[in-house]
Amino acid sequence: MAVETAGAARTSFELKSAQLPVVAVALKTTDAAVLAADLAARLADDPGFFDNDPVLIDLAAVRDAEEPVDFAALSASLRALHTQPVAVRGGSPAQMEAALAAGLVAAPEAPPARPAAPAPVREVIREVVREVEVPVAGPTTVVLDKPLRSGQQVYARGGDLVVMAVVSFGAEVIADGNIHIYAPMRGRAIAGARGNTGARIFSTCLEPQLLSIAGIYRTTETELPDNVRGKPAQVRLDGEKLLIEPL
């Protein structure tokens, strides 16, 4: 005779909270043709910069524009650059209604901008995509002692990131503060992700795919000088210009 015991019923799914990577595109014009041309020009030197990243369209700067936004054309331009437009925020009621009709969803409003922070070239709002377990050395520092493979990302929210192993091509390390890499750096390093212009990137072997501080970035389409390529170096901001210097 079968015996049944009390317990939770099994289901075919689980509901969990998730943190996903999102790239915010802040519009400064409602002209879809101008937007398409500027987006294509910005990524002309690095056509593989995006890898089907979800995109949030930020309308705060064009909220009062009289001309409507052609969300269908804008979404097509973004998809052509290997992104997936999924959400919109900050628009007027009419803009939000048009965005919803085009298949986009409404996202929460952005928090107030920090004063005196320069306008970012690319606003980066990212979380860990593929989970990587890391030990925490303190309340504002994350330490990673395992290699990062292509497609993996680590984000040190609110502080510094210390990496003790190689960051492979296609991997990404992000910190709101500084990034220290005591190994070859071959992927993407994004410091000052929330606008900290005083953040820096340090590496004992700089061979990056991309470097960024507070939204100002540089790709390997512009070759590094011999005195820093593959050598110990630091990256910092001077105004809106990235400086890469030997250590």
Q: Are 160 and 82 in a shared domain?
A: no
Q: Are 150 and 99 in a shared domain?
A: no
Domain count, the chain: 2
The residue among 106, 129, 151 that closes a domain is 106
Q: Are 154 and 226 in a shared domain?
A: yes
In a domain, 6, yes or no: no
- Output the pTM of the full model: 0.47
In a domain, 129, yes or no: no
Q: How far apart are CA 94 and CA 76, in angstroms?
A: 21
Q: Are 220 and 150 in a shared domain?
A: yes
Segment 109-132 mean pLDDT: 46
pLDDT tens per residue, range 11-47 = 666 655 455 566 788 888 888 888 888 877 776 666 6
> What are the residue ranges of helices labelled H in 14-111?
32-42, 71-80, 93-101
Backbone angles phi, psi at 89, to 5 degrees: -150, 160
Q: Are 158 and 101 in a shared domain?
A: no
pLDDT tens per residue, range 86-107 = 889 888 999 999 889 888 888 7
32 is in which domain, residue-wise? 23-42+50-106
In a domain, 54, yes or no: yes
